[in-house]
Amino acid sequence: MYYFCKVHLQSRKDEEKDIFVVLEQSDSTPNLTKEFLMKNGQYQDYCLKYKPKAIAAEYTVYAVETEIYANTQDDAFQSYIDREDAKKIAQGEITIDCMKDRSTKRKKKKNSPVMLMGIAGGILLVGVLAFGLGSKMGASNANTETNVQPAGNAAEDGMIVPEQVEIADDVQQITVSIDRSYSAVPTEDLQLKGAVVDGAAQITLPEFDKTDFFTHVSGYTWGFSTVPDGKQIEYYGGATYTFTADTKLYRVLVKYGGGSGTKEDPYLIDYYDQLELMAEEKARGYFRQIADITFPSWAAHKPIDTINELKDDPTAEYFEYDGNGFLITNLTAPLFGKVSGAVIKNVNIQSSFIDSIEYKNYGFIAAEVYNYQYTAEDGKTYETGETLIQHCTVSHSAIYAQYPKADTNQPATEVVTAPVVVPPDLVEYDENGNPITEPTEPLVIEPTKSAEYAIGAITGLGGQIENCYVTDFGIFAYLDDYFLYAGGISGKPASVTNSGVYYYSAQGKIFNAGGIAGSGSGAKMHDPTGKELPVYYGGSIQGCVARNIILSSEVAGGGIVGEGSTNAETAMITNCYANELNLTIGEYDEDGVLLKAGIAGGIIGCDGVESNGHYVSNTVSLANLSVIGKKTVSNFDETVRLAPDYAYYQQNILTVLNANSIHPDAPKAIFTGNFEFGDSTVFGDETGGSLAYPAEIADLFQKTIVEEE
């Protein structure tokens, strides 16, 4: 016998759906479990559409003698029930708390918690699961002193007073008095006492309730100081400190989470509204994140724009954001918008979804990265400097550039169009005085396709990207116009080194897509007004890996870059590999019929119109694809190897990936790969073993693995 379930899903009154789930074969009669249901593609599509907080699932188990499959159509299951060919054997109900129930840790690529792959009409479709992503991450960099969360009672002035342990009268004590004279009620000092042990007492200070909108100041932080009217926080709320004498503390309000914004004393960031204050003020200076940040579901993030000053020493950074290894989750827009001359490092964005109808550049770390240049009358050149994006991750996230789907539950309304009234003075007449009418057959003009903008996980456009990792990331572009470039790391970066992409899909209206970058053409310099200058730089992608990549684009698709060639000199693609590729390149109609074939390549899809080509060296490409799908100016040397899938798991691949790469026209520019093998359950699979990855991103894997709660 074969078994399946009909499941009725409901989260709210107008959010209902029936799905069919094929149960696994077993010796006994199988039953539907919560874990098995949560792995079902239709269930995950339901969650993606409605993003529910809780789901009630009523199900009935049926048995049939006819062999059934996971991809059997719903109407076939329903027909078994209607014809009574399916025997009802069990029924029940499952309640799922989508905010609590988590997906299990990924061991194999088929169990990825985000990318759900299926074939429909000959075109590979990918969905991104928008709920239930993990919360228990790897080792945190959190300072335990500043992350104590005491239990206590809320007070009138926004403080949560910790519960006090009763101390005997004969035990030596230390008292911390907190001034409350600023508050109308109460006015007496708050007394906190601690027993003295070895000359000191451990005392937990009150925590400030950031949900109390009467006392919380958006973007600012309350703390304590030993100085009346102090300007800096000496003691943070909710933390436990060691006191050796009675101490009087005064409440103090500081910008962000503290700090002064200098390199030695950066601004501290620990709450989502501090990022909003950065955006409001077009932040400058130095910033360091000191805690995980989750945006509330109702909060809409405004991207942070920060433009550096033109200066003769662009390496003297004026803006730096250090994510410090902490997470930012539930982000709904690029963290940074337009950026120049900045350093952004150690930022980990997870479980975030951009859903927008605006046609522009998109990236989770930064949307647009520019380098501005100005030449003074005396010939001296000033620059903002290129933006460095280092050691960052984007995981379990997606970018949706698409219009909202129509609500099919609403009754259809008839649209009545009034006839067009033509004023008499606009009527044209022929030479005989007869009015000229429109031809009965309207002239059909084929619409021309336009493409602009770039979209990627780390950046949409620009940036010198180093040591970054992207996993479980999707791009879904379905606006009226096409995106010109889409990439797993960046749509069109200045350069990318020692970075990796694992589980990435780009679908929709896209011209050129690549596993690492949509375009390898590099970056252009701009003048202070934003006008493009005839100065080109970058274009190199080195020490990178792209695996399990699913691309659907019209013009070109490549394992590393979609479109090659550049106007910069000596650009290279070296010490890279791409495998497990699924490239659907070309123009298709609504039924999935190929109208016009595109160009696919294992490393480069095809060259663009730029004058210089990429030099490809010490790189491994899949044997069933050309290294460069269509080359006009790019080329590769004898160090490039073609390999079948199993060869990527062999140790001798390191002899290619870790060799010295030298451009023949720039012998002093040497790049050496730094790939290594590790745990196969982290980067590889149980059947093939481990795959090589850049050593610089090994510590980022644990940050991006979703674990069972």
Omega of the bond leading into 186 within 30 degrees of 0 (cis): yes
Q: Which domains does the chain have, with CATH numbers?
A: 2-101 (no CATH), 144-255 (no CATH), 267-404+449-704 (2.160.20.110)
Q: Are 645 and 582 in contact (CB under 8 A)?
A: no
- pLDDT at 27 (0 to 100): 65
**pLDDT at residue 66 in the model:** 82
pLDDT score recorded for residue 439: 54
pLDDT per residue as tens digits for the range 220-237: 999 999 999 888 999 999
Task: Kindly report the number of other CB atoms within 10 A of residue 77's CB atom.
Answer: 22
**Residue-wise pLDDT tens digits, 173-202:** 999 999 988 766 667 888 999 999 999 999
How much is the pLDDT for 155? 61
Rounded Cα distance between 297 and 294, Å, is 9
- For residue 264, what pLDDT is reported? 94
Q: What digits encode the pLDDT tens for the residues 663-690?
A: 999 888 899 999 999 988 889 988 889 9
Q: Which segments within 554-607 are labelled E, that is strand?
A: 556-558, 561-564, 572-574, 577-588, 594-597, 599-601, 604-607
Residue by residue, what is the 3-state secondary structure of 675-688? EECCCCCCCEECCC
H or E segment to which residue 82 belongs: helix 74-82
Residues paired with residue 593 on neighbouring β-strands, in sequence order:
none
pTM: 0.75
Which of 327, 219, 326, 330 has its CA nearest to residue 276?
A: 219
pLDDT of residue 106: 38
Give the residues of the chain that fall short of pLDDT 70.
13, 26-27, 70-71, 99-156, 183-186, 406-433, 435-447, 706-709
Phi, psi of 315 (to 5 degrees): -80, -10
> How far is Cα 609 from Cα 692, in angstroms, rounded to an integer?
33
At 613-661, the pLDDT tens digits run: 999 999 999 999 999 999 999 999 999 999 999 999 999 999 999 999 9
**Residue 111 CB-half CA count within 13 A:** 17
Q: Nearest CA to 428 among 418, 436, 416, 438?
A: 436
Q: What is the pLDDT of residues 101-116, one digit of tens each?
A: 543 333 444 444 344 4
